[in-house]
Structures are given as structure tokens and as C-alpha cells.
Chain A
Amino acid sequence: MPDELEFEKPILELENRIAEIRAAEGEAASRDAIGKLEERLRRLQQKVYGSLTAWQRAQLARHPKRPHALDLFRLLLTDFVELHGDRVFGDDMAIVGGLAGFEGEPVVVVGHQKGRDTRENIARNFGMPHPEGYRKALRLMQLAEKFGKPVITFIDTPGAYPGLGAEERGQAEAIARNLREMAGLRTPIISVVTGEGGSGGALAIGVANRVLMLEHAIYSVISPEGCAAILWGDASKAPEAARLMRTTAPDLQRLGIIDGVVPEPVGGAHRNWEEAAGNLRTALREHLRQLRPRSPGELVQDRYEKFRRIGVFDEPA
């Protein structure tokens, strides 16, 4: 995937032109010309980013320069100690996690981890976990419960890996167990969809008291490509599938699935990691503050009711 997205090209071109004029003529000499161009840039940004389609958001959510879990850990947390392995089979590098401090409070963090380049992506399996990744995540979350620490999870995966070893070692069981055990975890859980929320492989670390989404993140029952392949036998109709499935953060908020949308910098989180992390910090602080006074029993009850309500149906008398 190219770093420049098609719909962003006019914006990036304008930005380059402004930078060129600045470099060639100096700030003072070109203030007038730059001012006009910057005004045009603002209007263009408003137009493009104010009316993103579901597919454009999917592209931002998958942007190769988007901050991943370990980047967000570094920007948001102190004293991070990564813990590895499921104590059964192996260490799945598509899921990372460990102990950390968030604003002076100990927390356990878990997240899907995509790679930044081909080599890392192979090691991280493009953020698609095997069962041992989910079992590692559960082990860490249960560690948090045992010692009364909150859990924060960052969701960013195309989905659980569909492979031979994954099936042999119980991919479905690993996901299912996480759903059930997270439902009963006697400690606060906050999940944030930071990029791609791909199906059961995303939900497996997403049964939380609060589920948040970054503004351009997506969350869906199946990838837009997978949906298009099933509906029309043609994965290239993914943009249409993304629209039909209502995969965007505003859609999910309207459907009552998520508890908040975390704003991203203009153009997406990849344009300014610090600003994106800053907004996320504010949201996490607020939600942790609300959950902290609750008893373990209340937290489990709250989580149960949150998911129990979800569903739209008729029941004629």
C-alpha cells in the first residue's frame, strides 16, 4: 500500500507547494502567497476529511505510517515491561503486552501489533494472531485481575490468522475463551480500536467496560474485502462492502456499540502521532477515572449489561 492515499493527493501536493515556496523565497518575502495557499489548504482539508467515505477511512485505519500498539505504549505509558508467551506453545508477536504505568497508575496493556516494514510484518504476521497470541493476552489480563490493576487493550488487526497451525491449535477456542473470561474479569477493562477492528480476532481482546474508537478506525464483522468476495465474488468491491456494513466510528456510535470516538489530528493519526496519543490519553484518563471507584462485582455487571443490550429485533405479541 502506498504511503500516499489517492484522495489525499491534492492536499499533499498543496502542502508540498507551500513548503517549496517557503524554502525558495523565505518566510517574509512570501507571506502573502503562502497565506492564500494555506487558506486554500484548510478549505481543502475540511472538504476531504469532513466527508470521508467508509472506504477512505479504512485506508486511513490501515495506513502504513499509522501509530501501532508499541508506538502508542511508548507515547502514553511509563515503565513498560513487555511480557512474552502463552506458557503453553509459543510467543505470538502479533500480540504484544505487558506491565506499565499510565499517569502514575500501574496498568496491564495488550495490543495487536502490525509491522512497519516487510521483515517486521512477516515476524508480526501482519498483526494476525495465532491462538497463542490470544492465550498470552488472556494470561496478562488475568494477571491484571489477580493484582487488581486495570486493563487497557489496543485493537488493530485484519483478523485472526486463517492458517493450518492456527486451526490445529484451536483458534476458535482461544477466541471464545477470551470472550467468556473477559466478560467475567473482576477489574476495569478499556478497549480502543486504534486501526482495524477485524472480526472475532479483534473482539477477542475487546470485551471491555468501555470500547472506544479512534476517529478513523474501522470495526466490522468481516473485512470489507471478505464481505465483497462473499456477496459479489469480487474483493475489489470492498469500498461498497465497507459502506454497507457500517464500519466507521460514527456509524458504530450511532448503533450504540462504542462509548466514545477519540478525535484524530487533521489528516489522520499518522500525520501527528503525538497529537493522536494526546487525545487518547485524555480519553483514557477520563474513562479510568469513572471506572476506578467501581467494585469488581459492579464492573462485571456493567460489562454484562453493556453487551447484553446489543441486538435489534422484533418480538410481536
Chain B
Amino acid sequence: MAWFWKKKEGEERPTKVQIAEGLWVKCDSCKEIVYRAEVDRAGRVCPRCRYPFRISARERIASLVDEGSFEERDARLTARDPLEFKDTKKYTDRVKAAKKATGLEEAVLSGTARIGGHPLVLAAFEFGFMGGSMASVVGEKLTRAIELAIQKRIPLVIVSASGGARMQEGILSLMQMAKTAAALHRLAEERLPYISLLTDPTTGGVTASFAMLGDVIMAEPRALIGFAGPRVIAETIRQPLPEGFQRSEFLLQHGQLDLVVERRELRETLRRVLAFFAGPPSQPAP
């Protein structure tokens, strides 16, 4: 087993794909029962259908960065309940449950790291935390991450896995789209690179803000990526959706992505892209 797939002491497995403790696991995509060691060896990818299982933010970061190079920032930011939102459960209880299930304070982890020696600011979503939804804390952490990249004059990488804006903070969640996009405008003005990595799933207000604004936008294979969710679209147009609709390969075909990269190739691809941006300019930027 590669070091970066090893389960750390006390680390929770992602909530979506509950890998049973045992020798065999069921693939979320093809439903085949596959040998667990084989899945782990492939970086948590199904050996039959090549579907990359959803992984936690910590696993994601460990799989991408130089060993031990990640230093978390803004780790203490935590949600409040500005709308005093309560449906079948209180919002504060939902947050509490998400913290317990993931061992994280919020739906995104951010900090500095190195990939192939190149320094960068990295943020990765935790889909297990309320579906990776974006509300005040996620918007603030991402904006600070962007501002940190500007301050340190290093590239930014965001790994998205999110259902979109979080309803329980209402309009405040919506406005995080504008806030992060405005910060990315500053990053672009400073001519600092932003690489957006889309993983399964990336939808709604996350796709419709920072996720689609990368200088380079890449995705893992088979990831669901879109603005509206497929169920909403099917209900709206009242017809079945075409095969592969809103999957990475579909977006690539329609010109919405720069590239689709297998999980095991991600680190090396990121290293090459970062090396490109780190290279000397042939002439000073205007």
C-alpha cells in the first residue's frame, strides 16, 4: 500500500463511500464487488470500471502534495447560525453532526504546500461535510486562501467536491460566490495562476463561481460536473438525460474543461503545470 493511502490513526473514512472493514468493497459506480487492496493500490479507484471513489479532503491532500509539506491555515473558522435555521433539524445540530462525522471544522481544508517542490496555496473540499456545501466559512476560507496566494505570490489550487451553496445560510451562501469570484479577479490582475481541479461531484454555486474560473481546469474521470443537478434537469425537460451527461468526459467534449486526468496521474500533471508557471517569463508581464 502506498504511503499516501494509508489510514492514519483516528482518521475517518469518507462518509459517502463507506468501505467496509474487510477484504472486499462494492464499487459505487459499477456495483461490482472488488478486492480492497487492489482499490487502495490504485489510489482508491475501482479496478473494474476505473471509477475514482470519493475520498476525504485529508486523503486528497496527502495524495497530491510532497510528503509533510501541507500546513493548514484558518483551521479554527467555524459556522454560526445567522438565520437561526431549523427544518427537521437545527442547522447548528447538522454542523455538529458533520464535524463529528468528518473530524473537520468545515467543508474545506486550506493551507500551503509543495508539489514537486513548487510552493502553492491549496484548498480541498470535504464532501462528507454537509455535501461539501459552501456557506460563510467556506467562502471566507477560500477568499483568504486566494489572498494568501497574492501575498506570497504563489499559485493557487482548489480541489472541488461540492453540491453547491448551503441553503441553511441562505443569501449569505449565495454571496460567497461573488466574494470568491471577486478575489479571483484580484488574483488574475496579479497574474498569479489558479488551477481548478474538479472531482465528483461539483455542482451548483460552486461550479458557477470559483470552480469554473481556473487558468487551467482539470477534472477526475467520470466526475459529475454541472450547474443544475441531473434530477432537476430531468424534471424540467421531462425527458431522460443522454448517457454520460454532465460527466467529465462530456464537459471535455463540449469544451468546458482543459483536461481529464486519472487519479494516479494527478500529482505529476499538477507538477508539470506548476513548473510551467514557475518557469522564467520570456518577457515581463505587461
Q: Spell out A's residues near B (CB within 8 Å).
A: 160-164, 166-173, 175-177, 179-181, 183-184, 199-200, 203-204, 206-207, 219-222, 226-227, 230-232, 244-247, 252, 255, 257, 303-304, 307-308, 310-317
Count: A-B pairs, CB below 8 Å? 193
Pair B241/A164 contact, Cβ less than 8 Å = yes
Tell me the smallest distance from the CB of A239 to a CB of chain B, in Å. Answer: 13
**Cα–Cα, bound, A200→B211 (Å):** 14
**Cα–Cα, bound, A257→B177 (Å):** 13
Tell me the smallest distance from the CB of B252 to a CB of chain A, in Å. Answer: 12
Chain A residues with CB below 8 A from B38, complex form: none
**Cα–Cα, bound, A310→B138 (Å):** 12
Q: Which residues 161-202 in B have Cβ within 8 Å of A in the complex?
A: 165-167, 169-179, 181-186, 188-189
Pair B228/A171 contact, Cβ less than 8 Å = yes
**Cα–Cα, bound, A125→B271 (Å):** 45
**Cross-chain contact of A222 among B76, B85, B143, B167 (Cβ < 8 A):** B167
**Cα–Cα, bound, A257→B171 (Å):** 8
Q: Is B8 among interface residues, defined by CB-CB distance under 8 A? A: no
Q: Which of B78, B172, B233 neighbours the largest number of chain A CB atoms within 10 Å of its CB?
A: B172
Q: Which of A184, A255, A312, A314 neighbours the largest number of chain B CB atoms within 10 Å of its CB?
A: A312
**Cross-chain contact of B182 among A245, A308, A317 (Cβ < 8 A):** A308
**Cα–Cα, bound, A268→B136 (Å):** 33
Assess A231 versus B87: contact at CB under 8 Å? Given A219-B171, A255-B171, A311-B140.
Answer: yes
Assess A180 versus B80: contact at CB under 8 Å? Given A164-B233, A231-B88, A247-B170.
Answer: no
Tell me the smallest distance from the CB of B231 to a CB of chain A, in Å. Answer: 10
**Cα–Cα, bound, A245→B168 (Å):** 7
Tell me the smallest distance from the CB of B135 to a CB of chain A, in Å. Answer: 8
**Cα–Cα, bound, A312→B168 (Å):** 12
Pair A180/B233 contact, Cβ less than 8 Å = no
Listed A/B pairs (17) with beta-carbon separation below 8 Å = A162-B232, A167-B246, A172-B226, A175-B209, A176-B211, A180-B184, A207-B181, A222-B165, A244-B170, A245-B170, A308-B179, A310-B175, A311-B172, A313-B78, A313-B80, A314-B77, A315-B77
**Cα–Cα, bound, A170→B139 (Å):** 23
Chain A residues with CB below 8 A from B88, complex form: 231-232
Q: Is B208 among interface residues, defined by CB-CB distance under 8 A? A: yes
Pair B177/A179 contact, Cβ less than 8 Å = yes
Q: Which of B170, B171, B176, B184 neighbours the largest number of chain A CB atoms within 10 Å of its CB?
A: B171
**Cross-chain contact of A183 among B79, B172, B181, B254 (Cβ < 8 A):** B181
**Cα–Cα, bound, A73→B85 (Å):** 38
17 more A-B contacts (CB under 8 A) besides A167-B227, A173-B212, A200-B227?
A: A163-B228, A167-B226, A169-B254, A170-B212, A172-B226, A177-B212, A181-B185, A183-B181, A200-B165, A203-B175, A207-B181, A220-B174, A311-B172, A314-B80, A315-B76, A315-B78, A316-B78
Assess A162 versus B233: contact at CB under 8 Å? Given A175-B208, A313-B140.
Answer: yes
Pair B256/A173 contact, Cβ less than 8 Å = yes
The secondary structure that dominates the B interface is helix
Q: Spell out B's residues near A (CB within 8 Å).
A: 74, 76-80, 82-83, 85-88, 136-137, 139-140, 143, 165-167, 169-179, 181-186, 188-189, 204-205, 207-213, 226-229, 232-233, 236-237, 241-242, 245-246, 254-256
Pair B178/A183 contact, Cβ less than 8 Å = yes
Pair A200/B136 contact, Cβ less than 8 Å = no
Question: Which chain B residue has the least Cβ–Cβ distance from A204?
Answer: B208
**Cα–Cα, bound, A16→B213 (Å):** 55
Assess A199 versus B205: contact at CB under 8 Å? Given A246-B170, A255-B172, A311-B172.
Answer: yes
Chain B residues with CB below 8 A from A317, complex form: 76
**Cα–Cα, bound, A164→B241 (Å):** 8
Pair A172/B188 contact, Cβ less than 8 Å = no
Tell me the smallest distance from the CB of B235 to a CB of chain A, in Å. Answer: 9
Pair A310/B172 contact, Cβ less than 8 Å = yes
Pair B87/A244 contact, Cβ less than 8 Å = yes
**Cα–Cα, bound, A269→B216 (Å):** 46
The 7 closest A-B pairs by CB, nearest first: A162-B228, A179-B181, A183-B182, A311-B136, A172-B207, A172-B227, A312-B82
Chain B residues with CB below 8 A from A169, complex form: 254
Pair B208/A171 contact, Cβ less than 8 Å = yes
Q: Which of A169, A171, A203 neighbours the largest number of chain B CB atoms within 10 Å of its CB?
A: A203
**Cα–Cα, bound, A310→B256 (Å):** 30
Pair A163/B236 contact, Cβ less than 8 Å = yes
Pair A303/B167 contact, Cβ less than 8 Å = no
Question: Which chain B residue has the least Cβ–Cβ distance from A134?
Answer: B208
Pair A170/B171 contact, Cβ less than 8 Å = no
**Cα–Cα, bound, A203→B180 (Å):** 13
Question: Which chain B residue has the least Cβ–Cβ distance from A178?
Answer: B181
Tell me the smallest distance from the CB of B182 to a CB of chain A, in Å. Answer: 4
Tell me the smallest distance from the CB of A214 to a CB of chain B, in Å. Answer: 16
Chain B residues with CB below 8 A from A247, complex form: 170-171
**Cα–Cα, bound, A255→B83 (Å):** 9
Chain B residues with CB below 8 A from A164, complex form: 233, 237, 241-242, 245
**Cα–Cα, bound, A167→B179 (Å):** 24
Chain B residues with CB below 8 A from A170, complex form: 212, 254-256
